[in-house]
Amino acid sequence: LENSNPKQLAAEQAVAYIQDGMTVGLGTGSTAYWAIQQIGKNVHSGLQIKAVATSIQSEKLAAELGIPLIPFSEVKEINVTIDGADEVDGAWNLIKGGGGALLREKIIASSSKELIIVVDESKVVDQLGKFHLPVEVVKFGYELTRHKLSMLGCEPNLRMEDQRPYTTDNGNYILDCDFKQISRPGECHDAINSIPGVVDNGLFIAMAAKVIVGYKDGSVKELQK
Ligand code: DER
């Protein structure tokens, strides 16, 4: 038996929900990585699916594994999307975007009949906000956007990579916003997205249909609401 780790355990339990004929959304990050790996194995063993990816990174991995990718023009309906999260609260609201893919993830999640979130136990929290909330903003006037975000009561930090501002697959910047804690995630989500220059943010409100958690002791559990 492979030395499965909590993220791999959760991911593989989620993949068991994928049936022949489905269109599947492929998430992004180190947990979704294991789901894509397992889907690749299942496709190799005959699973009949089509897939769309939530990032260039996941698209490349899927292609390497021989998972059939389709263009969005051919997507009728996405049956299930499997994706990770940086935080999950008791109402299954999420913070996502640690991997910089929040915009494509939310577009695909919002077009999916079912979003299955796969995490290890460290992501399950009582209150969102310890993880700095990623906000995707257009480059133009981002300093003004950053100021407006700070007026909501957070400390927005431009995400850097190799001493330069990080740029998403969509050519935008990410501001990681330290709210310390987010007590009303729905209101916070709406306030952020009403700021001109904001493309979207990493709060996923009431979008998760299932949450599967892998634990250090080797157990895995599908949370019940
Ligand atoms: O960037 C993202 O939205 C990822 O899904 C992130 O939220 C989880 O990444 P991880 O599975 O590598 O912790």
Q: What pLDDT digit, counting tens, does each position of 78-113 carry?
A: 999 999 999 999 999 999 999 999 999 999 999 999
Q: What pLDDT digit, counting tens, does each position of 125-174 carry?
A: 999 999 999 999 999 999 999 999 999 999 999 999 999 999 999 999 99
pLDDT of 1 above 50: no
pLDDT of 218 above 80: yes
pLDDT band at 40 (very low <50, low <70, confident <90, very high): very high
pLDDT band at 76 (very low <50, low <70, confident <90, very high): confident
CB of 29 closer than 6 A to ligand 1?
A: yes
CB of 99 closer than 6 A to ligand 1?
A: yes
* CA angle in degrees (0–180, nearest 5) for 210-55-162: 120
Nearest ligand 1 atom, CA 86: 7
pLDDT (0 to 100) of residue 225: 87
Residue given tokens 């892998």 in the structure block: 214
For ligand 1, pick from 87, 96, 119, 125 the residue to mutate: most ligand atoms within 8 Å of CB.
96
Residues identified as active-site: 105
pLDDT of 4 above 80: no
CA of 203 to the centre of ligand 1 (A): 12
Compute the mean pLDDT over every residue in the chain, rounded to the nearest whole number: 97
